[in-house]
Amino acid sequence: MKEEQVKENIDISSWMMFLLAAACGLIVANLYYAQTLVGPIRVSTGLSSTAAGLIVTLTQIGYVVGLLFLVPLSDIVENRRLTVVSLMVAVGALLVAGIAPNATVFLTASLFIGIGSVVAQILVPYATYLASEEKRGRVVGNVMSGLLLGIMFARPTASFITSIWGWQAVFVLSAIVITLLAVLLAFVLPERKPSPSVSYGKLIISLGTIFKQTPALRRRAFYQACLFGAFSLFWTVVPLRLADDFGMSQTGIAWFALVGVGGAIAAPIAGRLADKGWSKWLTGLAMVIAALSFLLIHLFNSHSTTALILLFISAITLDMAISGNLVLGQRVIYSLGSKARGRLNGLFMAVFFIGGAIGSSLGGWAYAYGGWSFTSLIGFFMPIIALLYFFTEKRTATEGQSSM
């Protein structure tokens, strides 16, 4: 198989691992720039408070579309070319978002930003093709730490830029950066040509079969969907709470968002511990930490300094829980089979980004109708649902085996 030849001939270097981690971070950041900009974008485009959640939700829906229809192509199409073409879609959408005259144009551009940014989920499994089995957890953890840093730095970066040049500059500058990145990747990525055994149509149809016949995929995807739903709910609504209840400016919100960056340390740690067989225990711990993060800020929901400090703490612990559990889930998914790794990853990411889209939509709705108390209560129950399902794993110990 050609993909096996790539693995035999090229061992992933520290430089390549760093490049893939940085690329994933820069690309996936496009999904999160708008999270702390919901307020100014809402005012500028004329969106109502209830509809403001669409700013984040449509980007995540676009990402799900890309995961289901673009990522599977990585199993049959040369990966470097697929990466560059998809990045050009993202560049075009970012430029349109930066000059959007109204909400309709901006929201449409947001959808395509999500579709083009799916390249990050082509590059993560691409890295595993260059890594040996015993190093896979470490490689996934390191590359995912770059991706997660991109997610977490996206929010404060967007807020800082907005405070200086306005929110439109965020999207224009990102378009420039992604263009330069596409050129770099086109020249330095090793070629990877899969050996296609099915047509694109059959490839897409096979997604249903893979999902049905792979219990470990369904379980891990559901765990992360619940946690990522809580994560998206938090980061969609917390900028509004900081502005409304604590009078924070865009710069203040940027500094708050910067705190969440600390959560990225969980990714490489989780990857290394997963290689030692700690995946199951750490999965349950991630769910408990996520639930406790919301419980704290639900019980202390006043406008006091204590409530603000607890928001800071919860931002860190919630991000740690989500980033750690993501690496644990991806390590399981990548061990299920190399020929369908692109499809497995696409399905996994699609399911949990659907959870994210639901979370951001619920956040906007809950905050508009029930305030922070109602919103944080919903956030608390999302990881609790995952935890209840996790307890059934003891009775289905063989679920980790794929029947593909």
pLDDT of residue 184: 96
Q: State the pLDDT confidence band at 1, using cuts at 50, 70 and 90.
A: very low
According to DSSP, residue 11 is labeled P
Instruction: Inform me whether the pLDDT recorded for 196 exceeds 70.
Output: no
Q: Are 238 and 297 in contact (CB under 8 A)?
A: no
Tens-place pLDDT, residues 140-194: 777 877 887 887 788 889 988 998 999 999 999 999 999 999 999 999 988 877 7
- Distance from chain centroid for Cα 225: 10
CA distances from 46 to 97, 144, 159, 339 (A): 15, 36, 20, 47
pLDDT digits (tens, 9 = 90+) for 280-319: 889 999 999 999 999 999 998 888 889 999 999 999 899 8
Neighbours of 61 (CB within 10 A): 21
> Taking CA 241 as the corner, what is the angle to CA 240 and CA 244, rounded to the nearest 5 degrees?
80
Main-chain dihedrals φ then ψ at residue 212, nearest 5 degrees = -70, -35
Mean pLDDT across 241-246? 89
Amino acid letter for position 83: T
In order, the DSSP letters of 258-286 are HHGGGGGGHHHHHHHHHHTT-HHHHHHHH
Burial of 64 (0-12, 13-18, 19+ CB in 10 A): buried
Measured in whole angstroms, the distance separating CA 311 from the mean position of its chain's CA atoms is: 21
Distance CA 306, CA 33 (A): 28
What's the pTM value of the predicted model, to 2 decimals? 0.76
**How does pLDDT run across 50-108, given as a tens digit for each residue?**
677 788 888 988 998 998 888 888 888 888 999 999 999 999 999 999 999 888 899 99
Domains located in the chain, CATH noted:
2-400 (1.20.1250.20)
Q: How far apart are CA 200 and CA 323, in angstroms?
A: 32
Other Cβ atoms within 10 Å of 369 Cβ, number: 11
pLDDT of residue 5: 43
The alpha carbon of 290 is separated from its chain's Cα centroid by a whole number of angstroms, namely 16
Distance between CA 332 and CA 340 in Å, rounded? Answer: 13
